[in-house]
Amino acid sequence: MSTVAETSRATEPAILLRQDDGGVAILTLNRPAARNALSMALMGELIAGLRAIGDDLSIKAVVIAGAGPAFCAGHDLKELRANPARAFMREVFARCSELMLEIQRIPQPVIARVHGIATAAGCQLVATCDLAVAEAGARFATPGVNIGLFCSTPMVALSRAVGRKAAMEMLLTGETIDAERAVAIGLVNRAVPAAELDASVAALARKIGAKSRHVVALGKAAFYRQIDLDTASAYAYASEVMTRNMMAADAAEGIDAFLAKREPRWRGS
């Protein structure tokens, strides 16, 4: 990972920015001229950045944003065409998969702040994040089919975020959908006027940050563990999680605070 970071700093400085604000870490993709395309270097830095945040007890929520006119236009097609070897292709898509998995592995909820376009792997990034807020003018697509490259890896995230028919329509037609349609199919949580995007994302992050970090982390992990289990297995697993949760200090504090009609004082355990 250090080699990737050193290479990116030497050839394309500051391709990923981090800003911490009141317990929220904001990671900004900073390749605006390339519409924040996910190069190998950028994906490497994102993975490293997310891992560092995951171990940071001061951070309760994460925002992924894009600099310039777009959120993310997907993979860096110029990089892919410049390195046509099969081994490199495998490395690219393996790294992309690792990035998406890391978003769901870290204990903090991750919010996509979407403006402009989110296409192909950029749409995959939105679908993978735990939550997403978009400006009303944002556009989404999995357009690989239009250039002879079916969006197979974006399909994994998309098909888990939206209904099958909606996912198949996006994948098979490659057509762009607007933010209103993205909300309707469950790709994003809400669409707001561009002038309200930052405030809406910040409000959502603060709302999450006010909860017990320990309990949120436990719940996030449980959500992704149970989602692909059959119903009986999911209930068995969730029952064990609830039992473990009830033994936590923050559960006792939260219940006591509720009964006493006061604000809870989270202990982080």
Of the chain, the percentage scoring pLDDT greater than 70 comes to 96
Give pLDDT tens digits for 120-154.
999 999 999 999 999 999 999 999 999 999 999 99
Query: Starting at the edge strand that comes first in sequence, how are the strands of the sheet with 139-141 ordered?
Result: 117-119, 139-141, 177-178
Choose among 126, 104, 97, 138: nearest CA to 186: 126
Angle, helices 213-226 vs 231-246, to 10°: value is 170
pLDDT at 13 over 90: no
144: Cα separation from own chain's centroid: 21
Q: Quote the CA–CA distance of 60 and 54 in Å, as a whole number.
A: 9
Sorted by where each begins, the domain ranges of the chain are 2-209, 213-260
Alpha helices in the chain (DSSP H): 2-11, 40-54, 77-82, 86-105, 121-128, 152-161, 164-173, 179-185, 197-209, 213-226, 231-246, 249-260
Average pLDDT along the chain: 94
Q: Quote the CA–CA distance of 157 and 15 in Å, as a whole number.
A: 24
Superfamily of domain 213-260: Lyase 2-enoyl-coa Hydratase, Chain  A, domain 2 (1.10.12.10)
The reply to whether 213-260 shares the fold of 2-209 is no
Give pLDDT tens digits for 179-219.
999 999 999 999 999 999 999 999 999 999 999 999 999 99
Give pLDDT tens digits for 77-116.
999 999 999 999 999 999 999 999 999 999 999 999 999 9
Q: Which CATH architecture has domain 2-209?
A: Alpha-Beta Complex (3.90)
Q: State residue 5's pLDDT score.
A: 45
